[in-house]
Structure 1
Amino acid sequence: MIPFETPAPPASASPDAAPVLTVPADAPFFIVMNAGSGRMQTDETRAILDRELGGNGRRYELRLVENPALLGDVAREAVEDAIAQGGVVVGAGGDGTLCAVAQATLGSGCPFAVLPRGTFNYFSRDHGIPSGLEASTRLLLTARAFPVQVGVVNGRMFLVNASLGLYPKLLEDREAYKRQFGRSRVIALWSAAVTLLRPHRHLRLHIEHEGSTREIRTSTLFVGNNRLQLEQIGMKEAPLLEQGLLVAIAPRAIGRLAQILLSLRGAAGRMSDAGNVMSFAFRSITVTRPGRRRRPVKIATDGEVTRLDMPLEFHVAPEPLFLLKPEPEVALANRS
């Protein structure tokens, strides 16, 4: 097979080519929040919104979603109302909730903002948005909407990452542990360790990229769209995200002990040093499973697991998401 090379990004690929939008001082906010976060978090959110937005004369509507299956419908309604009233759609929650709300705004021209309420909050942290609810709410009053890149797999958007294989299993097990023991980073890391110790299958995949095809055997194919996350595990391709590209990572078929050692290497920020990891940047790839071309496969996008039909088409969305965030120099200083 021909080894993949990183393509030269076209000048039009970067979101920086799109204009920065200034939000009117009287624009209303339509805030979509997953009520599954809990009553205490909902009450806290209401109190801060009343104080920081209402107290400054800004109109807002908080739309709580009791059933996660309706999140997309509520988000689309919020986008329609925001467009009609010259407003901003805001997602409140973790990366999965933010992605569902952002999907409704993509391509609409409607500005999007976030109130991070999740465990890791990779999307908001990467863009320098404060993790504290008060600070992120105050930011809504002054921030401009900057174009940011998003990824797509078979029409399903992702802000942070998309994956198949072992990684979706890790996420499913993590949610089960969280329901039993509570939401925290310690629980998330513990559940990952337990999952890695169990037997897991390897996938045989064909990856088509710019006219060449490579066959690989791997436990998981991970596609990243978050510079902070890729930097944390030590991927040298992380800066290429800002050039209109995504990054694919696939460990070669290895045993359980080697998989754990690889995970520890990633936690130490040294994933690129591993000799059994394939990685490359791309604008678009097509992934198939020999002999199982049409069978659905389990996919995780920003922590939410679903099934999609093969083949899988990963690519950068042709239009950016317009995100309310700090000015570039402030955003860079806030990244953590």
Structure 2
Amino acid sequence: MAIPSEISSPPVSLTGEEPLFIVLNTGSGRHAEGEVEREIRKGLAAAGRRFVLLPVRDGRRLPATARQAVAQAQAEDGIVVAAGGDGTLNAVSQAVLGSGRPFGILPQGTFNYFGRAFGISQQTDEAVQVLLDAVLKPVTVGLVNDRVFLVNASLGLYPRLLEDREAWKQRFGRSRTVAFWSALVTLSGAHRQLTLTLETERGSRALRSPTLVVGNNPLQLEQIGVDEIDQLAQGRLVAMTARELTPLALYGLLLRGLLSRLGDAENVITFGFDSLTVKLRGRRRVKVAMDGEICRLPTPLEFRVAPEPLWLLVPRQPAQREQG
């Protein structure tokens, strides 16, 4: 997920006095109502740092609020900060990319893959300290039909897993255990196979598959046992798909993923790329999940690396950035 060394220097240099414009999704995470906001205010007030808090109670308002934060940051040479789960980070980064403003995060999600990859804690007080003493790091951003994704983008079975997982969370709460049992139930059902044509700079391939996932997070790839992590270090993306599978075989893949051995499965296909065109037979639009948020996009799907990086605030000490 790093950017090759030939990328130019940051568009700004941090002075430690920039105002922070914080988009806070009040519905994210497992904290008591108002707890995250109190932690943010306490930490920044103690440091004497100027900030503007922009709370969002309706997720549909995230894009507009993110654009407002970017406009204010541009006017006052400030930093845009996203406080919430991966979906919140996604929505805010969509507005920040290409704006010339730095991006900070206060992650609150269940898995926190994006933040953990850079040593940024889910503990709000610790993440606030990173904002106060940070350096800028260029981060590769994935695009699908020009929509941003930071961790992954997927179609087919994976969006269905996410939809079902959200329903389970509404009933049983947000936890990794709930997510796991939800996945078991979803995989037990019948699933439509997608007829795909995958076109990259190296040629094309046709196959039938229940899902396609494009990854942009080394921590997630390492956790499930996919070998192409080095492709991310080269500023590329990694595609993961599988040949047509029975429900029993899907259970086998889930088990391999839990054991960090997904890349060893003979039915799994993985490869790195700079750009990927995905054509789907009989589909004019398709559900795509980007960092856990689902929308419908027109086909064909065009996956590529964004032409410029996202400039992320990360811990000053290199050892902290490797925590994962």
What TM-score, normalized to structure 2?
0.95
Query: Is the 1:15–1:244 Cα contact (8 Å) retained in structure 2?
Result: no
**2:138 match:** 147
Which residue of 175, 185, 200 maps to 1:184? 175
Aligned to 1:310: 299
User: For residues 72-100 of structure 1, what are the alpha-carbon distances to aligned partners after superposition, in whole Å with 9 as ceiling and x for unaligned?
Assistant: 00000100001111111110111111010
Deviation, structure 1 residue 25: 2.1
Deviation for aligned residue 1:331: 3.7
User: Aligned residue for 2:63?
Assistant: 72
- AA aligned opposite 1:318: P
CA distance, structure 2, for counterparts of residue 300 and residue 234 of structure 1: 21
CA contact 2:140–2:309 (8 Å) conserved in 1: yes
Confirm whether residue 161 of structure 1 aligns to residue 152 of structure 2: yes
Matched length: 322
Is 1:126 matched up with 2:114?
no
Secondary structure of the equivalent of 1:206? strand
Residue by residue over 1:122-160, the C-alpha shift from the partner in whole angstroms, topping out at 9 and shown as x without a partner, is 000011112211110011111012110010000110000
Deviating more after overlay: 49-58 vs 21-30: 21-30
TM-superposed deviation, 1:328: 6.6
The one-letter code matched in structure 1 to 2:59 is P
Question: 1: CA distance between counterparts of 2:30 and 2:123?
Answer: 18
In structure 2, what is the Cα distance between the partners aligned to 1:102 and 1:135?
21
Contact 1:18 1:147 in 2 (8 A): no
Equivalent residue number for residue 18 of structure 1: 8
Per-residue deviation at 1:327? 3.7
1:206 lines up with 2:193 in the alignment: no
Is residue 28 from structure 1 mapped to residue 22 from structure 2 by the alignment?
no
Q: CA deviation at 1:39?
A: 10
Q: Secondary structure at the match of 1:36?
A: coil
Task: After TM superposition, give the deviation of residue 16 of structure 1 in Å.
Answer: 6.4
Q: Distance in 1 between matches of 2:22 and 2:33?
A: 12
Instruction: Work out whether residues 15 and 149 of structure 1, in 8 Å CA contact, stay in contact via their aligned partners in 2.
Output: no
How many Å separate the matches in 2 of 1:101 and 1:291? Answer: 33
For residue 288 of structure 1, the aligned residue among 279, 282, 289 is 279
Residue-by-residue CA offset, 1:213-250 (whole Å, 9 max, x unaligned) = 11011110000000000011111101210101100000
Q: Distance in 1 between matches of 2:5 and 2:183?
A: 34
**Structure 2 match to 1:323:** 312
Q: In structure 2, what is the equivalent of residue 114 of structure 1?
A: 105
Identity of aligned residues (%): 51
Select 1:89's aligned residue among 60, 80, 86: 80
Q: Is the 8 A contact 1:35 1:42 kept in 2?
A: yes
Q: C-alpha root-mean-square deviation of aligned residues, in Å?
A: 1.7
Please tell me whether residue 232 in structure 1 is matched to residue 223 in structure 2: yes
Distance in 2, Cα, partners of 1:232 & 1:169: 21
1:45 shift after superposition: 1.7
Query: Does the 8 A contact of 1:45 with 1:133 survive in 2?
Result: yes
Paired position in structure 2 for 1:197: 188
**1:298 aligned residue:** 287
Q: Structure 2: which 5+ runs fail to align? A: none
> Structure 1 regions of 5+ residues with no counterpart?
1-11
Corresponding residue for 1:5? none
Cα deviations across residues 6-37 of structure 1 (Å, max 9, x unaligned)?
xxxxxx96276232453222211111011223
TM (norm. structure 1) is 0.92
Q: Is the 8 A contact 1:72 1:104 kept in 2?
A: yes
Q: 1:207 aligns to what SS in structure 2?
A: strand
Counterpart Cα distance in 2 of 1:298 and 1:32: 26
Is residue 168–residue 298 contact of structure 1 (8 Å, CA) maintained in 2?
A: yes
